[in-house]
A and B are shown apart, each in its own frame.
Chain A
Amino acid sequence: MSQKKVTLFQEFLKGIWKENPILVSLLGLCPTLAVTVSAENGLAMGLAATFVVVSSSVIVSILRKIISPQVRIASFIVIIATFVTIADRFLAAYYPDISTNLGPFIPLIIVNCMILGRQEAFASKNNIGRSFLDAFGVGIGFTVVLVLLGGVREILGSGTLFGVEVMWNNFHPWAVMILPPGAFLALGLMIGVSNWLNELGEKK
């Protein structure tokens, strides 16, 4: 059992950089590309996904000895769907604007492979504490990337950040950045930069 050697803190940290769901595993790209037209949307999406992944990881970890292997995926989906519904209704009740902005992508968290992947690869094999920390780290990593991506696209595409003007007066926003091609360009460049930083780190 090599996993026992990993400290709890490392379990939390690995989701943020070393096994970042977007930059390294390339999981959950559908919401990543679709909703990050602004930093606010990215933050809301990231927090909703974090809530879902943490809660469902804990539940799956508690039930891991009861769920029979044949029906595990279906069981995970039911558990995830429960929390997604909670998140969806919560946003609709308290932040209706964000809820309309994110549209169908909140219900689509159910099939986000980042979350299902955590259940299958980690929560169903580890105890509650580790599952919680792992899911929390992954969720934070997901949120950070979404906010960064949304921020970059919002600054370049509309000249604002969290709705506040940040660019100089006669800056012409690059409309392409809030369109789908901008999402692919920005995400590709972000992954490139993260790989480049990793390489620099290895050389040292």
Chain B
Amino acid sequence: MEEKSKTASEKPKKKDPREKLLKPNGKPLILKSSPHLLSNYSVEKIMRGVIFALLPTTILGVVFFGWRALLMILVGIISCVLTEVIFDLISGKKFKLTDGTSVLTGLLLVLTLPPSFPISGVILGSVVAIFIGKMIFGGLGYNIFNPALLGRAFLQASYPVKMTTWTLPKFVGADAVTGATPLGLFKFEHVLTNIKPLILGNVGGSIGETSAIAIILGGIFILIKKYADWRIPLSYIGTVFILGGIFWLIDPVQYPNPIFHVFAGGLMLGAFFMATDMVTSPITNKGSWIFGIGAGVVLITIRLFGGLPEGVMYSIIFMNGLVPLINRYTQPKVFGEVKK
């Protein structure tokens, strides 16, 4: 029996007339389903662009908070990448490190941490961000929540004291080592910080959130390059401005003015770099507006009526959870569809 099958399998080795059709120039003809148009964007390119856009913020963070900030950033990036490698090794997947998403996650995570945060905590946050925030859901493109913010939320719940111990930048004064953030100052001591240091970044806060001008520079870059949807930062910051303004008009003593709302805290960083994460934001234009407005409402609620001085992280994570629902209800109509 075996010999018979052998001869049978050798027979069709005669030249197949179809061979010429399938291999026009000696190379196999590749048949693919649509889409055939290749876009100019790729994950690698976008990630490189976003990391590039974060450079001014990163550099200013290191200038303001010293070499320790740089060490934290490096540790964060390396542990994020290592976590992904180890997970890929265990689950037998192919490496996808070239897309740079882990590098971006690590960078974003550290930029939202206070400058005096322990290094072991940075490693823990990075591992949680990549492992629980991304890989468990199936890797890039499947995660529900922004991995960097999830890592930060884990750290916030784990080390509530260390996450709210802020070191002031070097230029503020030699005698003051730790101090409150502008939002904390306002919430608990009712001291309003001037706008100029807020824009430059010469205030207490997380490594990457203090300087509004550096973030806006990078943000404009990614918006022009279309690496992020402009609707989200616009609606997010706009909602915060308008809602904050309404409350300020009602009672200017108790509530801070809207410009302070926009420039203080992590709103800029969150609006330009976290909320616009392509995986965890809505895919429709209408959905993007809803996403931004919802995040703004949640943020103002936390800032003015919640127990915490800042709520950018929770507002974005909250809206991340609603994204599947938003996508579902904002599906554009198919052309020619009749309303029932």
A interface residues with partner B (beta carbon < 8 Å): 172-177, 179, 181, 185, 192
Residue pair A175, B118 in contact (C-beta under 8 Å) = no
Chain B residues near A (Cβ < 8 Å): 118, 120-121, 124, 132, 136, 154, 157-160, 162
Cα–Cα distance between A36 and B157 once the two chains are bound (Å): 18
The dominant DSSP class at the B interface is helix
**By the criterion CB–CB under 8 Å, are A172 and B121 in contact?**
yes
A172 partner, pick from B120, B136, B154, B157, beta carbons under 8 A: B120
| B132 proximity list for chain A (CB < 8 A) | 185
Given contacts A185-B132, A192-B136, contact A176 B118 (CB under 8 A): no
A175 touches B120 (CB 8 A): no
Contact B118 A172 (CB under 8 A): yes
Closest residue to A175 on the B side, CB-wise?
B158
Contact B120 A176 (CB under 8 A): no
- What are 23 A-B interface contacts by the 8 Å CB criterion? A172-B118, A172-B120, A172-B121, A172-B158, A172-B159, A172-B162, A173-B158, A174-B124, A174-B154, A174-B158, A174-B159, A175-B157, A175-B158, A175-B159, A175-B160, A176-B154, A176-B157, A176-B158, A177-B158, A179-B157, A181-B157, A185-B132, A192-B136
Q: Min CB distance, A182 to chain B, in Å?
A: 8
What separation, in Å, do the CA atoms of A173 and B121 have in the docked complex? 10
Q: What distance in Å separates the Cβ of B22 from its nearest Cβ neighbour in chain A?
A: 37
Closest Cβ–Cβ distance, residue A53 to chain B (whole Å): 32
Nearest to B132 among chain A residues (CB) is A185
How many residue pairs at the A-B interface have CB separations less than 8 Å? 23
In the bound complex, residues from chain A placing their C-beta under 8 Å from that of B157 are 175-176, 179, 181
The interface residues of chain B lying within 8 Å CB-to-CB of A174 are: 124, 154, 158-159
B67 to chain A, nearest CB (A): 22
How far, in whole Å, are A172 and B121 apart by their CA atoms in the complex? Answer: 9
- Complexed CA–CA distance, A179 and B159 (Å): 12
- Which chain A residues border B121 with CB–CB below 8 Å? 172
Residues of A contacting B124 with CB < 8 Å? 174
Instruction: Report the separation of the CA atoms of residues A173 and B159 in the bound assembly, to the nearest whole angstrom.
Output: 8
A185 partner residues in chain B, CB cutoff 8 A: 132
Collect the chain B residues with CB atoms within 8 Å of residue A179's CB: 157
B179 nearest CB across to chain A (Å): 22
What's the least CB distance linking A122 to chain B, in Å? 34
Chain A to chain B: the 5 pairs with minimum beta-carbon distance, closest first: A176-B157, A174-B158, A176-B158, A175-B158, A176-B154
Contacts of A192 in B (CB 8 A): 136
Give A173 to B162 CA distance when docked, in angstroms: 12
Residue of A nearest to B157 (CB): A176
- Distance of A172 Cα from B162 Cα, bound (Å): 10
The interface residues of chain A lying within 8 Å CB-to-CB of B158 are 172-177
Pick from B118, B121, B132, B157 the residue with the most CB of A within 10 Å.
B157
Most A C-beta atoms less than 10 A away, residue of B121, B124, B158: B158
Instruction: Give complex CA distance A110, B162 in Å.
Output: 42
Q: Which residue of A lies closest to B160 (CB)?
A: A175
In the bound complex, what is the Cα–Cα distance between A172 and B163 (angstroms)?
13
Measured CB to CB, the closest approach of chain A to B149, in angstroms, equals 14
**Chain B nearest CB, measured from A192 CB (Å):** 7
